[in-house]
Every structure is written in structure tokens, then in C-alpha cells.
Amino acid sequence: MGSELTMATTARVTMAARTEPVGPALTFDDGPDPRGTPAVLDALARTGAPATFFVIAPCAERHPDLIRRTEADGHRIALHCDRHVRHTELAEAAIRRDTERALERLARLGVQPSLWRVPWGIQTSETEAIAAEFDLMLVGWDVDTHDWRGDSAEQMFAATGDELSGGAVVLAHDGIGPGARRADCAQTAAYVRLTARHAAGARLAFTTL
């Protein structure tokens, strides 16, 4: 069993080719999910913000239409997992099998991710070795919306608004994942709109991973 190294709290972002100061990179976990992904995609389409979606592979397999729409809307699809299990609870062989299965499912959908955010953001030494083996870059976050708790968009923005600059990677969810205390992602979609309004007012250019 691997030993926990760190919460994944860093990620690389690339600046959009614009003159505004660099702003946030929006990322979403635990989808695709018809209870949340369409609303989030609608909000992103209205604001023109790019995003990265870290998908659960069996969910992607069940909802290929949402994968196709995510790609058609110009967003990036990345790997979350096959089973949403902490890597501290898995042996190296089990992490490898999970990653292999997830990548195989996504490949059947024509998706070949190069970014990987592990469940709960918890990495082990085995995680890092397997990421290198599959040529995946581990990605974390700087700003956590805690949207799974069911907070309002205004509450989430009040807690995070001061951090939405300098290429900060923002963690949100377009799926109703393990432990979620909400039935849909309406407040996450509203948070996207508030973030876009803030970025426009501060002349911040959204970044992409």
C-alpha cells in the first residue's frame, strides 16, 4: 500500500494570447453527469470561458453525447479515474489497473488525455510512478469551491473571489460525486457566471491547463 505524499495543489497553466492580466483556469471533476454537465457547459458557452474536465471513465462511457459536446465546445477532457477511490487505499497494481481501464474506456471514445487529477487529489509515490508510465501529467488545484457541499454561488464566490488571478487553478464539479450534498450543479453553473463577470471587470483573461 502506498504512502500519501501530498494533496495535489499545483498545476501548469498557459496564458491565453491576450493582453489582459492572467486569470483563473476553471476545472471540473466527477462528470460527465446529466445532472450537472449540461448546465456547466451552458454557463461556459455564455461566458466564453475555456475549461478542463477531469472525467470518470465509466461516466464518459455512459454519456458519450456529453463528451462530444464538451469537445465540440472547445474544452479539454482529462482523466480523473475509473473508480473514485483514494490512492492511499490501493496497492500499486490496483492503481495501475484502474488507470489502464480508464484510459481504455476513453480511447474507445476517441479521447487520449494527457492530464490526470486523481480522486480526492491524494497522490502517493505509486501514483507518480504510474503517471510517468502512462505519460500523464498530474494536476491539482489552488482554489477549492467546495461546491459539492451545496453552497450558493454567492457563498462560493465570496470565499474564493480574492484568489481568482495569477493563473489560479479552480476546482469545481460538474458531477454529483461521492459525498455530495446537492442534487444538481445549478450553483456551480451560477458560480461560473459570477467568476466570468469578475474576470471581465478586472480585465483578467481566463487561462487553460
Residue 31 and residue 59 in contact, taking contact as beta carbons nearer than 8 Å: yes
Domain that holds residue 152: 23-200
Instruction: Look up residue 124 and give its three cell numbers.
Output: 502517493
Catalytic residues: 29, 173
List of residues 6+ apart from 62 with CB closer than 8 A: none
Asked if residue 161 has pLDDT above 60, the reply is: yes
In a domain, 207, yes or no: no
In a domain, 16, yes or no: no
Q: What is the pLDDT of residues 88-138, one digit of tens each?
A: 999 999 999 999 999 999 999 999 999 999 999 999 999 999 999 999 999
In a domain, 100, yes or no: yes
In a domain, 3, yes or no: no
In a domain, 193, yes or no: yes
- Give the rounded percent of residues in the chain with a pLDDT score beyond 90: 86
List phi, psi (to 5°) of 192. Answer: -60, -45
CATH number at residue 103: 3.20.20.370
In a domain, 5, yes or no: no
CA distance 90 to 130: 13
Number of domains in the chain: 1
In a domain, 91, yes or no: yes
In a domain, 125, yes or no: yes
